[in-house]
Structure 1
Amino acid sequence: MGARPEAEPRGYPEAIVGRAEPIDVRRIDATSRTPGVDYLWRVRWDVTEPYEQRVVPQPRLHLAAEQGRLLVHGVTRRPFVRRLVDRGHVLGASFTPGGFHGYLRSSVGRLSDAEVPAGEVLGLDDRPYADRILAADATDDTIVAALTDYLEAVGYDPDPRAGEVAELVAAAEQDRTLVRADALAALGGISLRTLQREFATYVGIGPKWVLQRFRLLEAAAAARSGDDVDWAALAAELGFSDQAHLVRRFTEVVGTPPATYAREVGG
C-alpha cells in the first residue's frame, strides 16, 4: 500500500509561518512499524530564488533527512528556520511527546536546542538511509520506506511513563485554562518537581514552556481567524501578565507582532 499524503500537517497550521506556494507540505500517517511516531511529514519545493521557511517549534522531537544525514532535532526554544534553494525535498518523522525516548533509551533533554546526526545517538549509521531518502528520483513511498526501515532497525523500547507524560502534554494543548505548571502537576497527581523532571526526561523541555507555547499557537490561530481580536482580553485568558507580555513573546516566536501577522496572513 502506498503512502497516504494529506493536505495539512497535524496540529497547528500556524506552526508553519508564511508558507510559500512553491512549497508542498504533506502529512503521511505513521504505521505500527514506527511506534512513538505521531506522523511523517514531507516537504518538496521548487523555488526560483532562495526562500527562508520559518516554523514555530512545538514540544516534540523530529528526525529529518537533510544535508546527507538523518538529523535528530531536539525540542528548541528558537524559531526553526531553513533556507530552501532550487529544487529538493525533505522527509521527517514527528514523534509524540515522549515517543523518541523509546528509541534513545535515555533522557531526551540532552538533545534540547540541538541538531545531531542520528547515528551518533541511536547507534546505527544513518547515512545509507538518508541517501535513499534524498535521492533525486525518490518517491513518497520509497522515502517513507527508508525512514521506517531505519527506525525499525534501531528498535523501540516502550516506557509506560512516557505515555502518561504524553497525556499531560495533550491536556496542556487542549485545555486553554491550563496556564500554570503547578496546575498541570496537580492534574497529573504529582509534585511540580516531579513534573519538571519527567518533562525534561520524556518531552525535552519544561512544562512552563510547553504551556506557553500552546497558548501562543492559540494566539496565532486567533490572528489567522479573520475576526477582530481583543488582544488585551486574549492575553489575560491565555495566562500572560498583560498585552505587552503576549506581544513580546509572540514576536520572539513568530517573528512579527500578532496584529502584523494577522495582516500578513490575510486575516
Structure 2
Amino acid sequence: MSASAPRRDTRGIVDPAGLLSRVRFRRHLPAPELRAHLEHYWLIDWDLPEPYTSHVVPHPSVNVVFQRYGPPATGHASAEVAGIGLGLFTHELTGTGRVCGIQFRPGGFRPFAPARPVSTWTGRRVPLTDAFPDATDSPAAVLTPDEDHARVAALDAFLLARGPAPDPAADHAMELVELARSDRTIRRAAQLAAASGLSARSLQRLFADRVGVGPKWVILRYRIHEALERAEAAGTTGTPDWAALAAELGYSDQAHLVRDFTTTIGVPPTAYARGPSVP
C-alpha cells in the first residue's frame, strides 16, 4: 500500500482553521521503501505572539515525534514515541518551536520495533530510546535543518536504518484497518472478523499486538472522525441531519452518536457545528 501524495484532509483536528492560521503545517511522503508502513511525515513550525491550545482526536496510529520548544540556540529538543492516544490530545503551543513527526499506518510500527506488542505504547508518550535504544543523537539530526527536504531525508535515514522487518501479521493488520476505514458497511468488530477470516479472539489478539487497540475501538474512532468532519463542514454545507448520520455510521440511534462525540470532543456535535470549540 502506497500513495503518490500525502493526504490533505484535516480529519481529527479540532478547529483546523484556528490551528492552521497560527502554525506552518505540512505533510510529506517518506521514501518509497517506507510508504507501505507510514501514513506520512508531518512538520510544524510556529512563532506565536500569544499561547494557543490545539486539540486533536488521535488516529489509531503510533507516532514518532521529534520536537523543539524555544529558539534553535537555546530551546529544548527531545524525541519520543507517542502511542495511540485514547482521548482528546490537548497541547499548548507558546513562543517558537518545531515538531517533525512520523505517523505510522495503523499496524505499521511493529516492523520497526518488533520487541514488544504495540499495545505496550498505547496511551503513553515515552522517550524514543525506550523503543530504539541507539537513537541518542536523532533529535538534532532531524530538527536542525531549516529546509523540509533535509528534515525528510533525516527521517528517512532514521527509519531505513531500523527496518522495516518482514511481518506478515502486521501487513494483515494494516489491510484490516484500511478496510475498517474505507468500507462504510463495516460497523462492528464481528463484521471485520468475518471479513478477515479470523475468529473474534484472534482478531482481538492481532490488533493488540500489531495495532495497539482493539478493532471495536478503531471502528468507533473512525466514526468520530467522520462526525467531526461533518460538524466542521456545517458552516458551508448546512447542519447535518444527525439522526441520518448516526444511522449511516452504524449507531443504533442519534443519542449514541451524541454521547460518543461529546465524550471525545467535550461538547455536543450541534454546539461544535455552531463554532468549533472545546472546554
Question: Structure 2 length normalisation: TM-score?
Answer: 0.86
The aligned residue for residue 201 of structure 1 is 209
2:79 alignment partner, one of 70, 73, 76: 70
Indicate the larger mover: 95-104 or 11-20. Answer: 11-20
Tell me, in whole angstroms, the C-alpha distance in 1 between the residues paired with 2:176 and 2:9.
Answer: 18
- Cα shift at 1:80: 1.5
Segment of structure 1 superposing worse, 19-28 or 199-208: 19-28
Aligned twin of 2:10? 13
Q: Deviations over 1:139-168 (max 9, x none)?
A: 212222222222222232121121111111
Structure 1 residues 210 and 219 mapped into 2: Cα distance closer, same or farther (>3 Å)?
A: same
Matched, 1:214 2:222: yes
Match of 2:73? none
Given that 2:54 and 2:93 are in contact with CA atoms closer than 8 Å, whether structure 1 keeps it comes out as: yes
CA displacement at 1:11 relative to structure 2: 6.7
TM-fit CA distance, 1:228: 3.1
Q: Secondary structure at the match of 2:161?
A: helix
5+ residue gaps, structure 1, are: 1-5
* Alignment-derived partner of residue 53 in structure 1: 54
User: 2:158 matched to 1:142?
Assistant: no
**For residues 214-262 of structure 1, what are the alpha-carbon distances to aligned partners after superposition, in whole Å with 9 as ceiling and x for unaligned?**
1111112222332332212221221223222211211222232211222
**C-alpha separation between the residues in 2 aligned to 1:132 and 1:138?**
11
SS in 2 for 1:240: coil
**Identity over aligned residues, as a percent?**
40
Aligned length: 257
Q: Is the 8 A contact 1:196 1:207 kept in 2?
A: yes
- Partner of 1:101, secondary structure, is coil
The one-letter amino acid of 1:239's match is G
What SS does structure 2 have at the residue aligned with 1:103? coil
CA distance in 1 between counterparts of 2:118 and 2:138 reads 22
Q: Which residue of 1 aligns with 2:134?
A: 124
**Which segment drifts farther, 87-96 or 243-252?**
243-252
2:188 to 176, 180, 183: 180
Q: CA RMSD in A?
A: 2.0
Assess, with a 3 A threshold, how the Cα gap between structure 1 residues 12 and 210 changes in structure 2: closer, same or farther: farther
Q: Alpha carbons of 1:33 and 1:119: their partners in 2 closer, same or farther (altered >3 Å)? A: farther
| Deviation at residue 26 of structure 1 after TM alignment | 0.7
In 2: Cα distance, 1:172 partner to 1:31 partner: 26
Check the 8 A contact 1:232/1:243 in 2, yes or no: yes
Determine the C-alpha separation between the residues in 2 that align with 1:117 and 1:153.
Answer: 18
Counterpart secondary structure, 2:34: coil
Q: Any conservation in 2 of the 1:59–1:205 contact (CA below 8 Å)?
A: yes
* Aligned residue identity for 1:27: R
Q: For 2:169 and 2:238, how far apart are their aligned partners in 1?
A: 41
1:114 aligned residue: 124
- Aligned letter for 1:65? F
Aligned positions of 1:38-49 closer than 5 A: 38-49=39-50
Asked if the contact 1:176–1:215 (Cα under 8 Å) also holds between the matched residues in 2, the reply is no
Provide Cα deviations, 1:169-211, integer angstroms capped at 9, x if missing partner: 1111112221110110000111010111001111100000000
Aligned residue for 1:104, secondary structure, equals coil
CA contact (8 A) 2:15 2:232 kept: no
SS of residue in 2 equivalent to 1:42: strand
Structure 2: which 5+ residue stretches go unaligned? Answer: 69-76
